[in-house]
Structure 1
């Protein structure tokens, strides 16, 4: 069984993030939000691949699924503004 906090630790160690939140309570299925300047100019698929790269062989093994929502800092600021 894997912990969401461990995924957060690994992603943060491998990718500079402005905001990072991973959730999941069954130990294999997770969802998260990642905000990083490293996503600038990259399509969503490449953004997700950058996050998955920080997890290496854990993806598909200990971590069965990780549903991601990724934002650049500008996109995140706009999203936060829309929320009020």
Structure 2
């Protein structure tokens, strides 16, 4: 089964509290804007690790490239 932006959206939202989540992609390469209060006080690498944890093994098996913009609600809102 081909991975879709909708599938990635569901994987992330199931494993991470998000106030905004947008995923786009072509089946191999994806971009995501992820806004979560869980990112507060965390460095970018720690934020990405939270997303990778939500994706679990799918990151290795199904998703070949995921570019992420990770923001707190305060950063997203301006």
Shift in Å, 1:56? 0.7
Aligned length: 77
- Indicate the SS of the match to 1:60: helix
CA RMSD of aligned residues (A): 0.8
Shift in Å, 1:14? 0.6
TM-score, normalised via structure 2 length: 0.94
Task: Say which one has the larger Rg.
Answer: 1
In structure 2, runs of 5+ residues without a counterpart are none
TM-score, normalised via structure 1 length: 0.88
After superposing on structure 2, the runs of 4+ consecutive aligned residues of structure 1 that deviate more than 3 Å are none
In structure 1, runs of 5+ residues without a counterpart are 79-84
